[in-house]
Amino acid sequence: MYISNQLLSISFTFLAVLCSPQVEQDPEKEQVREAIDYYFQAHATGNGEYLREAFHPVAHLYFVRDDDFSQLTLEEYIAGFDGTPPEDEDQRTRSIDEIDVSGNAAIATITLDYPNGVYTDYMSMLKIEGRWQIVNKTFYLAPR
């Protein structure tokens, strides 16, 4: 049976489109990213007020320091920002590695690659009154 090259080409193109993974914009994940962008802006600028846009007012941060469990309130965390960008800002990178959304709950995994070490953040987030907010942050620092 003879099939023209043009028909064969069209058939392969159709199959490639049909079998390729669909990349869809997920509006919920985009809104989660927007909240995390405020977190990134706080780190890049040294302005802790950006954190008020990213975190719920009663959020906590949890971590282990010197083998001891530690925690900070949002207000304690904000107090650590002095309003000036880090001197080594040009050497820092920040990325969102993964976002998993289920209804009005989400988890985001974030990497902060800084000269002193690599931070891995796990953000628990909830959509409250139509806005995604970080309600809990746990993190690990792998020092350099």
**Alpha-carbon span 35 to 40, nearest angstrom:** 9
User: What's the pLDDT at 13?
Assistant: 42
- Nearest one of 81, 126, 80, 129 to 137, comparing CA atoms: 126
The 10s digit of each residue's pLDDT in 82-127 is 999 999 999 999 999 999 999 999 999 999 999 999 999 999 999 9
User: What's the pLDDT at 25?
Assistant: 75
pLDDT at 22 over 50: no
pLDDT at 24 over 60: no
**Alpha-carbon span 41 to 52, nearest angstrom:** 11
User: What's the pLDDT at 44?
Assistant: 98
pLDDT at 6 over 60: no
Question: What percentage of the chain exceeds 70 in pLDDT?
Answer: 83
**Alpha-carbon span 141 to 115, nearest angstrom:** 12
Q: Mean of the per-residue pLDDT values for the chain?
A: 88
**Alpha-carbon span 134 to 58, nearest angstrom:** 10
User: What's the pLDDT at 96?
Assistant: 98
Q: Are 75 and 90 in contact, with CB atoms under 8 Å apart?
A: no
- Give pTM, 2 decimals: 0.81
Q: Which residues pair with 28 in a beta bridge?
A: none
CATH node for 26-143: 3.10.450.50
User: What's the pLDDT at 11?
Assistant: 43
**Alpha-carbon span 15 to 60, nearest angstrom:** 50
Q: What are the distances in angstroms from CA 115 to CA 20, 90, 141?
A: 39, 10, 12
Question: What percentage of the chain exceeds 90 in pLDDT?
Answer: 81
